[in-house]
Each structure stands twice: as C-alpha cells, then as structure tokens.
C-alpha cells in the first residue's frame, strides 16, 4: 500500500483513540437519556456541540425536522456523508443501539479531518432523526439531502459483523371500513359490519400469502374493531406492512393486497377508505466497493468482518437507509455488540448498547469508517470505482 495512505490511516486510528473517552461519554449520555423519533433534542444538541467544538460548521433543523442536522468539514468534492441516528424505542430505550450509531459517525468524522486536511474534499455528518417510527431519511432523500454525496456510510449495532446485509422494500398501508351501527341482537338486519370487512380482509390476505414469493412479507394489526359487543361495528381500522425484495414486485403485491380489502368491502357492504402512506422504504442497494474497503480496514485493525450475509433464507427487515442507497453509493454494515441469540429491540440489546463490548465495537467501527474515508479521499481511482458501481447498479435497477 502507498506509504502516505498507510501513514494517514495510522493518524486517524490515533485520533479515534484520543477521542475515545469523549465518545464513550457521549454514547452513555445518549443511552441514559433515550428520546423518541423527532424528539431527539438532547442527543442532537450534544452531538452538534461536539462537532462544533471540533471545527465542523453545523446547520440545524434540516428538512423541517428540528432534530435533523448537517455538520460540514472541508470544501468541495469528493463529499463523504456519514449518517447518524439517535432515536430510541418507546419503553425499551436504546434497544436498537442508535446511541452507538451516532458516536461511531461523529468519531469517524472528527478523525477523518486529517484526511480532508491532507487530500481535500469534505466530510459531512448528517443527523437523520426518527429511523424507528417515521423514516426521517425517506423525507430527507425526497428533498435531495443525499444527492450531492459521493458516498454515504452508517454502521448499525447487531450481533454479527457483516458489511452487506439485505434490507427489503416496505410500504405501509392504512385502511378503514365504514359500516352502519345497529343493535347486534334486536336489529342486526339494519347493520353493516365494518369489523367483518376487516376480518375478511385478513382471511383474503391469508389465502394470498400461500402464493406469493417466499421473500415477500405481509403483516398487519387491527387498530379499531368496534366499541361494544352489542353494537354492530360501524367502523374498523387496520395497519398493514407489505414487503418485497424489489420495487416492481412490491407494487404488484400492493395491488393484490388492495384487492383483498376491496373484495371484503363488497362482500359486507362496508365502504373502504385507503390512503396510500406517503412513506415507502426502499430496498438496500449496498455498494460492494465501499463494503470491501470497510472489511479490509476492519481486518487491518484486527476485527474480522464477513463481506456479505447470504440472501437465502431471507432474514431481513427494512430501513430508511435503503432510500439513501438509491440516491448515492451507500453501505450499512452491522457491528457485533452482543452475542448471537440476543434480539435487537430487547432489554438485553439495550444493555449491550451501554456495555464495554459495545464501546469497543464503537471505537473499532469509527476507526474503520475513518480509514475508509482515507481510501476515498486519497485515491481518485478508488472514488471513481465507487461512483461507477453506483451508476451501474442504478442502470440495472431502472431496467
Ligand atoms: Zn430498530
Ligand atoms: Zn436501528
């Protein structure tokens, strides 16, 4: 390897080590003060304050979200975006480990200043609120927040170390049925049963489920099933998620699921109201060139990271990072902070997000991300390879 690149990588490693106690302090403070999506005021303030102290120019309140921000160091191209999440889960605190996502990001960004100073280009930290309950990045992607980035990186805590994991496309569907209330015993003939329409919808979906691709998912809940057992329910409501590995199949499925609701409405006489939810999670298109750089840099600091998780059997959720990956070359590696068998969104995982293993993982990941920025800013050829792969992937996906 080029001697200068190697020296610069050693510098950024030292820099993360020098910042490590501050980063741990930040991670634990955010962990001890969990805030729900779009309410992450403390985390946002602490992170932006830290970045300001370290010479970043901060702009808050991005895309009409008070807890979204941008912090810039350097000028011009290439522009490397490091994404930060800091929202917690109701009742469970930081059970998804987002307190570590943001500290990995700010730690890597501060360390990568050395690369910007030496090679040019810029590093931008983008604070993206409400991953769990809203999909902040979907809104931001729609407003073009990620379009001028040459690469975007976010590392997510998990129970394994893998650079590329699948995330599938997901559309939320909210439906309501409107019927007619009547006494359920004295005058049922006068009623139109909105709950029956919802139950038939579930049965229709269950029949459909046998004949969809094994990688697709349909699941939902009833959020209103009536008020009293002696009244024919005049209103019912449900919330459903439809997921598929690609957008075209997702569109096809949404239409089929919609037919399940329409036919249930016809059968019962209840009127269907369906508002297509504006938020749609895209599938994750990981940039393999970026992923390989991350794996090699982790290896250089003594941490073994698998390049890719096998896609079969599909064991995947959805993330708003998918929407970022359609706007620029992106990766979302996962980082082991807890033993296998522990589930994300559990009290055990929340404990892991404040553990020594969690803190070690955070520093390792911050180093590997900063070293990856060294690779990108120091070599036009490497940067070009990342851009070209993104262009090719996009062409393939739009075919
Ligand atoms: Zn989560
Ligand atoms: Zn998460």
Closest listed ligand to the CA of 133: 1
From the list 127, 109, 144, the residue with the least C-alpha distance to 65 is 127
Question: What is residue 309's predicted lDDT score, i.e. its pLDDT?
Answer: 85
Query: How far, in Å, is the centroid of ligand 2 from the Cα of 167?
Result: 12
Sheet architecture: strand order including 121-127: 57-60, 69-75, 121-127, 79-84, 151-153, 330-331
Quickly state the pLDDT bin for 399 (edges 50, 70, 90): confident
Per-residue model confidence as pLDDT tens digits over 252-278: 999 999 999 999 999 999 999 998 766
Per-residue model confidence as pLDDT tens digits over 146-164: 999 999 999 999 999 999 9
Question: What is residue 278's predicted lDDT score, i.e. its pLDDT?
Answer: 67
Query: How far, in Å, is the centroid of ligand 2 from the Cα of 196?
Result: 36
Query: How far, in Å, is the centroid of ligand 2 from the Cα of 304?
Result: 22
CB atoms within 10 A of CB 19: 21
Query: How far, in Å, is the centroid of ligand 2 from the Cα of 76?
Result: 31
From the list 65, 143, 87, the residue with the least C-alpha distance to 345 is 87
Query: How far, in Å, is the centroid of ligand 1 from the Cα of 35?
Result: 13
Question: What is residue 334's predicted lDDT score, i.e. its pLDDT?
Answer: 97
Share of the chain above pLDDT 70, in %: 98
Quickly state the pLDDT bin for 311 (edges 50, 70, 90): low
Per-residue model confidence as pLDDT tens digits over 32-84: 999 999 999 999 999 999 999 999 999 999 999 999 999 999 999 999 999 99
pLDDT mean over 343-365: 97
pLDDT at 312 over 60: no
Query: How far, in Å, is the centroid of ligand 2 from the Cα of 9?
Result: 28
Query: How far, in Å, is the centroid of ligand 1 from the Cα of 57?
Result: 29
Closest listed ligand to the CA of 335: 2
Query: How far, in Å, is the centroid of ligand 1 from the Cα of 371?
Result: 27
Quickly state the pLDDT bin for 303 (edges 50, 70, 90): very high
Query: How far, in Å, is the centroid of ligand 1 from the Cα of 302?
Result: 28
Query: How far, in Å, is the centroid of ligand 1 from the Cα of 224?
Result: 26
Quickly state the pLDDT bin for 184 (edges 50, 70, 90): very high
Query: How far, in Å, is the centroid of ligand 1 from the Cα of 264?
Result: 33
Query: How far, in Å, is the centroid of ligand 2 from the Cα of 319?
Result: 8
Query: How far, in Å, is the centroid of ligand 2 from the Cα of 81?
Result: 18
Predicted TM-score of the model (pTM): 0.91
Query: How far, in Å, is the centroid of ligand 1 from the Cα of 203?
Result: 29
**Mean pLDDT of all residues belonging to the chain:** 96
Query: How far, in Å, is the centroid of ligand 1 from the Cα of 38?
Result: 15
Query: How far, in Å, is the centroid of ligand 1 from the Cα of 168?
Result: 14
Per-residue model confidence as pLDDT tens digits over 210-269: 999 999 999 999 999 999 999 999 999 999 999 999 889 999 999 999 999 999 999 999
Question: What is residue 142's predicted lDDT score, i.e. its pLDDT?
Answer: 94
pLDDT at 313 over 60: no
118/125 Cα distance (integer angstroms): 19
Buried b (16+ CB within 10 A) or exposed e, 212-229: beebbbbebeeeeebeee
Residue 60, token pair as written in the block: 């808050």
Closest listed ligand to the CA of 344: 1
CB 334 within 8 A of CB 161: yes
In sequence order, the 6+-apart residues with CB closer than 8 A to the CB of 83 are 101, 105, 125, 126, 128, 137, 152, 153, 154, 321, 324
pLDDT mean over 371-398: 96
Question: What is residue 17's predicted lDDT score, i.e. its pLDDT?
Answer: 98
């Amino acid at each position: 390897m080029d001697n200068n690149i190697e020296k610069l990588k050693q510098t950024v490693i030292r820099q993360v080590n020098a910042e490590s106690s501050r980063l741990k302090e930040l991670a634990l403070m955010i962990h001890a003060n969990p805030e729900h999506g779009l309410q992450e005021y403390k985390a946002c303030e602490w992170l932006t304050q830290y970045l300001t102290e370290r010479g970043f120019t901060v702009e808050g309140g991005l895309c009409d979200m008070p807890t979204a921000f941008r912090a810039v160091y350097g000028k011009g191209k290439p522009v490397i975006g490091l994404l930060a999440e800091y929202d917690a889960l109701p009742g469970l605190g930081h059970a998804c480990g987002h307190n570590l996502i943001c500290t990995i990001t700010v730690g890597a960004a501060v360390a990568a200043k050395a690369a910007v100073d030496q090679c040019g280009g810029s590093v931008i930290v983008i604070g993206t609120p409400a991953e769990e309950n809203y999909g902040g990045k979907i809104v931001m992607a729609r407003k073009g927040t990620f379009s001028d980035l040459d690469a975007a990186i976010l590392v997510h805590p998990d129970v394994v170390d893998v650079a590329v994991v699948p995330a599938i496309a997901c559309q939320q569907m909210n439906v309501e049925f409107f019927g007619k209330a009547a006494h359920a015993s004295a005058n049922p003939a006068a009623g139109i049963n909105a709950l029956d329409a919802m139950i038939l919808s579930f049965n229709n979906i269950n029949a459909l489920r046998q004949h969809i691709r094994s990688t697709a998912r349909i699941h939902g809940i009833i959020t209103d099933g009536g008020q009293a057992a002696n009244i024919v329910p005049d209103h019912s409501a449900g919330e459903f998620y439809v997921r598929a590995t690609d957008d075209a199949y997702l569109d096809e499925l949404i239409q089929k699921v919609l037919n399940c609701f329409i036919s249930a409405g016809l059968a019962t006489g209840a009127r269907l109201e369906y508002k297509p939810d504006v938020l749609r999670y895209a599938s994750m298109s990981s940039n393999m060139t970026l992923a390989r750089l991350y794996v090699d840099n982790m290896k250089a600091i003594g941490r073994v990271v698998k390049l890719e998780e096998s896609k079969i059997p599909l064991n995947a959720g959805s993330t708003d990072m998918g929407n970022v990956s359609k706007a620029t070359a992106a990766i979302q590696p996962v980082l082991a902070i807890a033993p296998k068998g522990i589930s994300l969104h559990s009290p055990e995982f929340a404990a892991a997000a404040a553990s020594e293993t969690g803190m070690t993982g955070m520093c390792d990941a911050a180093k590997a991300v900063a070293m990856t920025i060294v690779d990108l800013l120091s070599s036009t050829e490497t940067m070009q390879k990342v851009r070209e792969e993104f262009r090719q992937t996009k062409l393939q996906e739009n075919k």
